[in-house]
Amino acid sequence: MSLLALQRDVGTWLRDGSNAAAEAIGVGYRPGLAVYLNNYRAQLAAGLETSFPLTRMWMGDDAFQEATIIHVDRVPPSGWTLDAYGRDFPMTLAALYPDHVEVAELAWTEWAIGEAFVAPDHDIVDAASLSAVDWGRAILRLSPTIRIAEVSTNVFDIWLALTEDRPPPPAQRLSEWRTLLVWRIGHSCQVRPMNAPEAAALGQARSGATFAQLCDILVAANGEERGTALAGAFLGQWLAEGLIIEIANAVQPAP
């Protein structure tokens, strides 16, 4: 048997643990293969426990363990780092708990925090530099640590209570979707909900709109006075929260 064929057979054994897979490698190897199978499953389960401690707390140990077993069976790892293995776990939870949407949303929140924790470092905009900005051409460059998701439950309140070691509130569906924002300031990850106008404005800024275009959109949606006030308020808040890493000038279109 070639090395490639052997490694494919061992991979099949780890994924399905079947007699057929073990026999393809050799029946005499069964005790050793069992050790590797156990190591494989235990490693992946431990990786999920590390990535999703609050989700585990919310679900309870037994339900979480059942979900990890199902996930390990359904989703073979492909990335070079075990840290990446949990990326699809929120989707597994969404499929397992369609009537408890907060479970998958809580897992997404933890995953987003984990990603923000090791996202690229960056400077933040110095307030003293703002006087030199040409606001007519300004583009807001946002932190690469930002992660955004739409949620339909009070998952933010649940997450906050669990992080503060308080009894969490019961899960509730919200009357309308809400946007959760995750990012990092220094070494500290932040989570907060955004209202619809802010979420829309941040989405525009992330897609490369100039600050002037962003103001126009807010004015069109909210009227001159409120739209202008919102633009100023969002800019101030994003600067204060370290969400803006650079204010660049848009390239002027050719005449």
Of 79-87, 92-100, 151-159, 210-218, which part binds other proteins (CB under 8 A)? 79-87
CB 163 → other proteins: shortest distance, Å? 17
**What does DSSP say about strands 147-153 and 138-142: parallel, antiparallel, or unpaired?**
unpaired
Structure-token pair, residue 52:
């999703």
29 binds other proteins (CB under 8 A): yes
Lay out the site mask for other proteins across 111-150 (x = CB under 8 A, - = otherwise): ------xxxxxx---------------------x------
Q: Which of 21, 40, 113, 227 binds other proteins (CB under 8 A)?
A: 40
CB 165 → other proteins: shortest distance, Å? 20
Please state, in angstroms and rounded to a whole number, the distance separating the CA atoms of residues 89 and 95.
10
Of 28-36, 56-64, 128-136, 211-219, which part binds other proteins (CB under 8 A)? 28-36
Q: Which is nearer to other proteins, 44 or 151 (CB)?
A: 44
Q: Which is nearer to other proteins, 3 or 254 (CB)?
A: 3
Cβ neighbour number for residue 197 with a 10 Å cutoff: 18
CB 115 → other proteins: shortest distance, Å? 10
Of 23-31, 191-199, 228-236, 237-245, which part binds other proteins (CB under 8 A)? 23-31
Q: Are 153 and 102 in contact (CB under 8 A)?
A: yes
18 binds other proteins (CB under 8 A): no
Please name the residues in contact with 46: beta carbons below 8 A apart, sequence gap of 6 or more. none
Q: Are 182 and 113 in contact (CB under 8 A)?
A: yes
Give, as one character, the DSSP assignment of residue 81.
S
255 binds other proteins (CB under 8 A): no
Task: Supply φ then ψ for residue 69, to 5 degrees.
Answer: -60, -45
Q: Which of 19, 20, 23, 36 binds other proteins (CB under 8 A)?
A: 36
Give, as one character, the DSSP assignment of residue 127.
G
Please state, in angstroms and rounded to a whole number, the distance separating the CA atoms of residues 219 and 232.
12
CB 247 → other proteins: shortest distance, Å? 21
Please name the residues in contact with 102: beta carbons below 8 A apart, sequence gap of 6 or more. 58, 153, 154, 155, 158, 171
End-to-end Cα separation, the chain, in angstroms: 68
Tell me which residues touch other proteins (CB under 8 A): 1-4, 6-8, 10-11, 14-15, 26, 28-29, 31-33, 35-36, 39-40, 43-44, 47, 76-83, 85, 117-122, 144, 184, 187
